[in-house]
Structures are given as structure tokens and as C-alpha cells.
Chain A
Amino acid sequence: MPVPAYTFLLLSGALFTMGAIGFLVRRNPLVVFMCIELMLNAVNLAFAAVSRYLNSLDGVVFAFLVITVAAAEVVVGIAIIVQVYRAGRQMDVDGLDLMKE
């Protein structure tokens, strides 16, 4: 008995929700980044599931592009976090308001 498509979409939605909640609740910038990765992964799961159940390859290609963009995003984001750390600022997303001034 095959797994119905909507269970994959439900799991994807649940993972995305947990990532979004973590993004809002956590305060360490690195953990906030991990929650963004969690959300991107959830979207990839939805792409792959829809692609499989509609007999198409577009979702797989999209998920691959999402993985690529996420890798680029992580590189730049971690470089910024390391810069903030080297500047001796407190590692708290609420305290990072350099761009306000």
C-alpha cells in the first residue's frame, strides 16, 4: 500500500512550522540559521513529494536549486555571524541592531 501524497505534505508543513517557531523563539543567531535550514528542507520535501505524485521532474529540479541557494546563503550568513563575533558583540539576535543607526 503506497503512502498517500498528503501525508508527505503534512510532514513537510509540520517541519516548516517547527522551523518557523524556532526562528521566532530562539535568540542565538546560529540556531536561528539552523531553523531557516529546517524550513528550506521542509519545502524541499514538499517539492519532491508533489514531483513524485504528479509524475514530473520539475519539483526535483526546484529542490536542487533550493539546496544550491541554501548553500550560498549559509556561506554568507556564517561569514557575517563570524564578523559580529569578532567585533565582540553579544551573540543575541535582539542585540544586533547595527543597521538601525
Chain B
Amino acid sequence: MVVGFAIVAAWELVTAAGVIGFRRPIYNALALVGNMLGLAVLFLMLNAQFLFAAQVIVYAGAVMVLFVFIIALMNPVSDVTLGPARGSEWIYGIVFGVIFAALLGVLLVNQGLTGRPGPFTPEVINAVGNVQSVGTALYTRFLFPVEVTSVLLLIAAVGAVYLAMRRIR
């Protein structure tokens, strides 16, 4: 378990570095696909099989296919042809990195989770079935957020169609 986690964690960090490091957008996209698949494996380790399936289908499948499709369609310029990066961007990036590294240090010092444990132990979830238990939670306690999200999806679809029809100068 620990060895598997270490391997997947290293894979996640390497592919994340690829997402921000490669100069050509198609390599960035492929690194992000690898990152999302590794994250799906981490969801499996966390006993979240439903999230694993959703991650593979929605992210690694639909979203990244859209990215790769758009890259193939537009053949966008890489950062190389945009000219050298300005120094201010790197300053912002480094400042942000230092701040978050400090936050991670706080996490290392303070390692416990203080929340009150709930009733859904892995045994309880696996007795009912992972998808069934998540679905029950979605359509009982979280019914209103689910409905709001469905309206958001509808708005996004309408907005995308509108943007596709309209021509800007």
C-alpha cells in the first residue's frame, strides 16, 4: 500500500511538472491525461470507486479529448514562438510557490484530522456498494446541490452553443 502510494505520488508529481514544463501544448495535454489517470488510481486507494469511474470517464475521457481535439484543430503556438517569458511572471510564480510550501510545512507539523468521524466506514460502504451509497447521498441529503449543478450544466451547454454561433470581430 505504502509502496504503491509512493509510486503513484511520484508519477503525479512528474506528470504535473510535465503539464507546466513542456513547451508544446500537445505534450502538456498528454501529461495532464497521465496525471488524471494517476489520480484515478489514488481514488481507488481511497475506496472511492465511484470517483474513480467519474474521473476516468469525465476528466481523462471527455475533457482531455476536448483539449486534444482543440489543439489538433487550432495548432496553437507554443510558448517558444511567443518569445521569452517576462521576469515578472516568474516572480509571481516563485512567491506563490514559497507561500504554499510554507502551508505544506504547517501540514507536516500538524498531522491529525480533527473532524468528527462519520458512520460510513469502508465496511459499511462496501456492504451496500460504493455507487449505491454515493447515489443515495446524492439524491437525499445533496438533492438541492445536484439540481443546481444540473441547471449549471444546461447553462454551460446553451452558452457554448451561443458562443459557437456568434462571430466576434
Contact = CB atoms under 8 A, between A and B. Distances in A.
Interface size class of B (residues with CB under 8 A): 35 or more
A87 B59 CA distance: 28
Contacts of B25: 28, 30-31
Interface size class of A (residues with CB under 8 A): 35 or more
Contacts, number: 247
Contacts of B107: 6, 9-10, 13
Interface in A39-96: 41, 44-45, 48-58, 60-61, 63-65, 67-76, 78-87, 91-92, 94
Interface in B49-70: 50-51, 54-55, 58-59, 62-63, 66-67, 70
A10 B104 contact: yes
Nearest to A16: B100
A14 B13 contact: yes
Given A20-B97, A31-B79, A49-B46, 11 more contacts: A3-B2, A13-B107, A17-B97, A45-B39, A48-B51, A55-B122, A61-B137, A61-B145, A64-B50, A74-B66, A87-B168
